[in-house]
Structure 1
Amino acid sequence: MGAKGRIRVARVYDEPGPDDGQRVLVDRVWPRGIRKEDPRVGTWCKEVAPSKELRQWYQHDPQKFDEFAARYADELHDCPALAELRKLAKGGVVTLVTATRAVDISQAAVLAKLLKRR
Structure 2
Amino acid sequence: MIQCKRVYEQAGPGDGYRVLVDKLWPRGVKKTDLAYDEWCKALTPSNELRKAFHSETIDFSAFSQAYREELARHADEGMRLAALAKKQTVTLLYGAKNTEQNHALVLADWLRHL
**What's the TM-score, normalizing by structure 1?**
0.86
User: Aligned residue for 1:83?
Assistant: 79
Aligned pair in 2 of structure 1 residues 60, 84: CA closer, same or farther (>3 Å)? farther
User: Aligned residue for 1:3?
Assistant: none
Aligned pair in 2 of structure 1 residues 89, 60: CA closer, same or farther (>3 Å)? farther
TM alignment of 1:33-52, pairs within 5 A:
33-52=28-47
Structure 1 segments, 4+ long, off by >4 Å, are none
C-alpha separation in 1, matches of 2:54 and 2:86: 32
User: Aligned residue for 2:4?
Assistant: 9
User: Aligned residue for 2:51?
Assistant: 56
Q: CA deviation at 1:32?
A: 1.6
Q: Percent identity?
A: 39
C-alpha separation in 1, matches of 2:93 and 2:99: 9
**What's the TM-score, normalizing by structure 2?**
0.89
Q: CA deviation at 1:60?
A: 7.1
In structure 2, list runs of 5 or more residues that go unmatched: none
Q: CA deviation at 1:13?
A: 0.8
Q: Secondary structure at the match of 1:53?
A: helix
| Length, aligned pairs only | 112
Tell me, yes or no, if the aligned pair for 1:13 and 1:40 is still in contact at 8 Å.
Answer: no
Q: CA RMSD in A?
A: 1.6
Tell me, yes or no, if the aligned pair for 1:14 and 1:40 is still in contact at 8 Å.
Answer: no
Among 23, 35, 43, the residue aligned to 1:28: 23
In structure 1, list runs of 5 or more residues that go unmatched: 1-5
Q: Secondary structure at the match of 2:66?
A: helix
C-alpha separation in 2, matches of 1:75 and 1:108: 14
- Code of the residue aligned with 1:114 in structure 2: it is W
- Code of the residue aligned with 1:109 in structure 2: it is L
User: Aligned residue for 1:98?
Assistant: 94
